[in-house]
Structure 1
Amino acid sequence: MIEDLWYKNSVVYSLDLDTFMDANGDGVGDLPGLINRLDYLNSLGIDVIWLAPFQPSPNRDNGYDISDYYGVDHRYGSSGDFVEFMNHARKRGMRVILDLVVNHTSNEHPWFKAARSDPDSQYRDWYIWSKKRPAGWNKGMVFPGVQKAVWTRDPVAKLYYHHRFYEFQPDLNMDNPHVRAEIRRIIGYWLQLGVDGFRVDAVPFILESRLKGEKLRFDYLAEIRQFLQWRAGDAALLGEANVTPEETQRYFGDGRDGLNMMFNFWVNQHFFFALATGDTAPLEQALKDTAKIPEATQWAVFLRNHDELDIERLPKTKRDKVFARFGPEPNMQLYHRGIRRRLASMLGDRRHIELANSLMFALPGSPVLRYGDEIGMGDDLARKERAAVRTPMQWSSERNAGFSTAQRLANGVISKGPYAYQTVNVDAQRRDPGSLLNWMIKMIRVRKECPEIGWGEWTLLRTGAKGVLGMCYSWRGNRIVVLHNFNRQPQQVKVALDGEGSERLVNLLEVDDSLATRQGHHEIALTAFGYKWFRVGGLNYALRRQPPGPPTGH
């Protein structure tokens, strides 16, 4: 049954252990600290926890430089703590997905140490080497402006090794079947400990091949998917692949041999253009461009994540407008393509923040929240690169934001300015009925009561007003209408609907229903940056819901 696919309609919460909650007072967040905050995530309405890398690492790139795939870094606890965390999450009905970082390892991984020191080592061919510096040694860098090369000479091996990311992250050789077998072992290990899937880091780079033929080997992705399904039938792969709509089909495959989910970077970038300018036409086109995906797959929709806001795929004229609105100062920009700021500090206006989050929950796919965005946390631009948006969670107005009792933190909290922990924190907002946190809890509840968004078909609605995005979802005999006004001025919109119950729209957020005029359309007023969610025909949708039909294909 297609409705058994949990990832089609889940609310995902992204967090880093080291900045979420410190239980032992050493200044670093840990697994016991996360366990202590699971009730908070449960009360928020979270279905899935996505954990950033926590395996042993020199931690030169926020844990994305792994030196042992089969353990837990001592800073975060033990493997026993991880199993205990999984048990507590499971008891609360929450699923867990982990980062799968296998494009590269740390240069301190035993595999690389063996590979560089011994030409006859079995691990020499696990990495990519060259006797001479290749012609494109300074092309195709992931971090332009910071990263200097993609080929670096190793003084021990006396060879050049390839690294798409930083020089301390040598790329694994995916063309080597032993490497791919080891990746399957890594997946199998964590599945055995109960995880529900993986957020696959840097998917296009994983598939890069140096063999003759295609540059991207999607059969490598199919191997991973088939192994995952064999070991755990309901596990899922959420892929990070910032690619064009034309390329997405190959990553999804036929729904059975590719990614289960992908982040919708294409829509995300056009979403921020709409937020910056009030022009929703490019966003509407981006939604159309990404509408057709296999039935058993799903988009992951998001506003911000642990990286910079990447707007590289916008045309330069549009990109410049987003930079001008949300990252006008050079220290707000990163890698010539992105903005290293949190959502709240970019938008500023509470109405604008609500509009953005409301639409994220209303877009086709499963929403992914970044920790702290539910309370409107800010950023610290004094920190290097992406560390600006990776500050500790602000739990209370107590010392260290209630994150830790340590005298000194590994990552300092935001203590000055409008986003300081003394004013922006969970405890204060939990007790304020009008807070962003309580608004977010309400929106998550409403989203979970609208399965039409995750499961149904959607169409764009004509609203008769520029800058107002209207969508209608339909699923099993029920319909949802969502309207979002990107203008700084109030708008009056006209919406025409056909079918049973179309004469009545019941507002899901407040007592403000709409009855159709004699001409058969709805006239609806939206405030500046306003939004409305309606159920078509009334609230007896559970009585009207039709039984599921047969699947329409893969």
Structure 2
Amino acid sequence: REGVIFPGKQHTTWSYDRLAKRWYMHRFYPHQPDLNINNPRVRDEIHKVIGFWLELGLSGFRVDAVPFLIEQVGRHNPATRDPHDYLRDLRSFMTRRRGDAMLLAEANEPAKKLAKFFGDRGNQMHMLFNFLLNQALHLSLVRGDATPAVKTLRSLPEVPAASQWANFVKNHDEATFDKLTDKEREEIFAAFAPRKSMRLYDRGIRRRFPSMVGGDRRRMELMYSLLFSLPGTPVLFYGEEIGMGDDQRAEDRIAVRLPMQWSADDCGGFTTADEKDAPRKPLREGPFGYPRVNVRAQREDPASFLSWTGRAIRTRKEWPEFGWGAWRLLATRSREALAHVVTWDGGSAMAVHNFADRPVRATIRLPADLRGGTSWRHLFGAPADDSEPPAGPADGRLVIELPPYGYHWF
């Protein structure tokens, strides 16, 4: 049972194949045997697969569970003395075939190990999913305290110039909180998964974020404002842009993998098949069912979450500081508030977020290079008429009033 990834569902990492008359290792389920990357034939076959899809026009690949891909079992594996050599080889082969292709990797590891997967010169994975920040943001929201998020941001290793963090709110698996302490994880479970059936593998929650917060628009906007403004590249899971929920009647991870809700038509417009014949049932009932939450209705509503998401994306693209800039955390004199500034090509942008369910005053002390008569104007968040901070005085202090779960970009 050592090394089992799916406790309660998976019983061993070794199985016997009667046809081959051999034991084989599988970090995941028995139908997912680990590949022996020390074998040159295996490497060549992986290269063929990558080359095939690049020829069809793919722009890159999501590399699942990278630490297990390069994991070495036993002491004698002469072909790979440094397991990371294989990631360098993978990157090199792909780049030769297509220079603008990228590798987005899943490496849910402690902060001190993450830099290895980018590579010293950025010659391994282009991007890593930021599991540590994802877990910290959920904990900060539960506590109404920005401290966990601040500590995690400060703990992240620097990334090479051509690399980037991939920030996310939700992915296609359970929301995992394995890097938190047992006490911290229980806090999140109590708030976002009060029923045991909502939890999975003793470490995660099989729910989408909108249903975790009961459709609370304030907390939804706060979390996705953080996604679009914090250092890194935002990654959306389908349906997040309209605030889709989950189906707790479905098994395990399938609860969050619903058919996309395009319209209020049968099956949510996902298929013309009869709903009873659909291999994966759409969610019809409840506040997140497709009659109430769907793309068609939200495209026609300027106040919808889809419209809000579109504005957030456009604002981020209009101000490239958020994507390209060097970032710094700013003191706010409030545990509830998180503020950071990004600077790129002579311009600066700032975002301030309130994790609390009450109004908060953030008193921000700007870095010396941003003090002295600098004017900050509203970009995104609360209405502009009550969110303009004053021009920075000589001591560089800005006072910003934040409503409950409020956020401002300047």
TM bracket, shorter-chain basis: over 0.9
Contact residue 516 and residue 523 of structure 1 kept, 8 A = no
The answer for the alignment partner of 2:71 in structure 1 is 208
Match of 1:27 in 2: none
Could you tell me how far 1:327 is from its partner in structure 2?
A: 1.2
Structure 2 partner of 1:361: 228
Partner of 1:503: 374
For residues 103 and 118 of structure 2, the distance between their equivalents in structure 1, rounded to whole angstroms, comes to 10
* Alpha-carbon distance, 1:496 to partner: 2.7
Q: Give the Cα–Cα distance (whole angstroms) in 2 for the partners of residues 419 and 215 of structure 1.
A: 51
Query: Which residue of 377, 383, 405 corresponds with 1:529?
Result: 405
Which consecutive unaligned segments of at least 5 residues does structure 1 have?
1-137, 535-554
**Cα offset, 1:387, TM superposition:** 0.1
Question: Is 1:397 matched up with 2:260?
Answer: no
| 1:185 shift after superposition | 1.2
| Corresponding residue number in structure 2 for 1:243 | 109
Specify the code of the residue in structure 2 equivalent to 1:405. T
The number of aligned residues is 397
Shift of 1:168: 1.3
Listed as ranges, the matches of 1:294-313 within 5 Å are 294-313=160-179
| One-letter amino acid of the structure 1 residue matched with residue 123 of structure 2 | D
Q: Which structure 2 residues correspond to residues 143-542 of structure 1 after superposition, within 5 A?
A: 143-210=6-73, 211-212=75-76, 217-348=83-214, 349-407=216-274, 408-497=277-366, 498=368, 499=370, 503-509=374-380, 510-511=383-384, 512-516=387-391, 520-534=396-410
Query: In structure 2, the residue corresponding to 1:161 is in which secondary structure?
Result: strand
TM-score w.r.t. structure 2 length? Answer: 0.93
Q: Secondary structure at the match of 1:168?
A: coil
Alignment check: 8 A CA contact 2:372 2:392 kept = no
Q: Report deviation, 1:157.
A: 2.7
3-state SS in 2 of match to 1:505: coil
Distance 1:517 1:438 in 2: 32
Gaps (5+ residues) in structure 2?
none
**Residue identity opposite 2:400 in structure 1:** I
- CA distance, structure 1, for counterparts of residue 278 and residue 115 of structure 2: 44
Distance 2:324 2:307 in 1: 26
- CA shift, 1:374, in A, is 0.9
Distance 1:158 1:495 in 2: 67
Shift of 1:521: 2.1
CA distance in 1, matches of 2:85, 2:92: 10
In 2, the alpha carbon distance for the partners of 1:216 and 1:394 equals 46
Aligned 8 A contact 1:364 1:454 in 2: yes
* Distance in 1 separating the partners of 2:283 and 2:195: 20
Kindly report which structure 2 residues correspond to 1:2-17, keeping only aligned pairs within 5 A, or say none: none
* Pairwise CA distance, 1:501: 6.9
The residue identity in structure 2 corresponding to 1:271 is: L
User: 1:197 corresponds to which letter in structure 2?
Assistant: G
Alpha-carbon separation, structure 1, partners of 2:28 and 2:151: 32
3-state SS of the aligned residue for 2:401?
A: strand
Superposition deviation, residue 285 in structure 1: 1.2
Residues 463-519 of structure 1: CA deviation (Å, up to 9, x unaligned): 111210000001111101100000000111112324367532100024232213756
Q: Distance in 2 between matches of 1:288 and 1:401?
A: 43
- 1:455 and 1:475 in contact (8 A); partners too: yes
User: Whole-Å Cα distance in 2 between the matches of residues 230 and 445 of structure 1?
Assistant: 33
The one-letter code sitting in structure 2 at the alignment partner of 1:488 is: D
Give the letter aligned to residue 495 of structure 1.
I
Task: Classify the secondary structure of the residue corresponding to 1:181.
Answer: helix
Q: Which amino acid counterpart does residue 162 of structure 1 have in structure 2?
A: M
Offset from partner CA, 1:11-62 (integer Å, 9 cap, x none): xxxxxxxxxxxxxxxxxxxxxxxxxxxxxxxxxxxxxxxxxxxxxxxxxxxx
Q: Which moved more, 1:366-375 or 1:189-198?
A: 189-198
CA shift, 1:159, in A, is: 2.6
Matched residue SS, 1:514: coil
Stretch deviating more after TM superposition (523-532 or 280-289): 280-289
CA distance in 2, matches of 1:216, 1:165: 23
Q: Which has the higher contact order (CA 8 A, sep 6+)?
A: 1
The alignment's C-alpha RMSD in Å is: 1.6
Indicate the SS of the match to 2:376. Answer: strand
Name the CA distance, whole Å, in 2 between partners of 1:166 and 1:409.
26
Q: Quick check: 1:143–1:335 contact (8 Å CA) kept in 2?
A: yes
Partners in 2 of 1:445 and 1:438 — Cα distance? 11
Does the 8 Å contact 1:174/1:209 carry over to 2? no
Larger displacement relative to structure 2 (255-264 or 508-517): 508-517
1:61-72 mapped onto 2 (5 Å cutoff): none
Take 1:202 and 1:520, find their aligned partners in 2: how far apart are those partners? 45
Describe the shift of the 1:502–1:218 C-alpha distance in structure 2 as closer, same or farther (beyond 3 A).
Answer: farther
Superposed CA deviations along residues 171-215 of structure 1, whole A, max 9, x for unmatched, are: 221111110111111111111111111111111111012353788
Q: Find the aligned partners of 1:531 and 1:236 in 2 and give their Cα distance.
A: 32
Kindly provide the amino acid, as one letter, of the partner of residue 350 in structure 1: R
Shift of 1:350: 0.7
Determine if contact 2:373/2:392 at 8 Å carries over to the other structure: no
CA distance in 2, matches of 1:255, 1:145: 40
Is contact 1:209–1:216 with CA below 8 Å preserved after alignment?
A: no
CA distance in 1, matches of 2:335, 2:64: 38
Return the alpha-carbon distance in structure 2 between the equivalents of residues 382 and 321 of structure 1. 24
Q: Distance in 2 between matches of 1:246 and 1:517?
A: 37
CA contact (8 A) 2:261 2:294 kept: yes
User: Which letter maps to 1:449?
Assistant: E
Percent identity over the alignment is 45
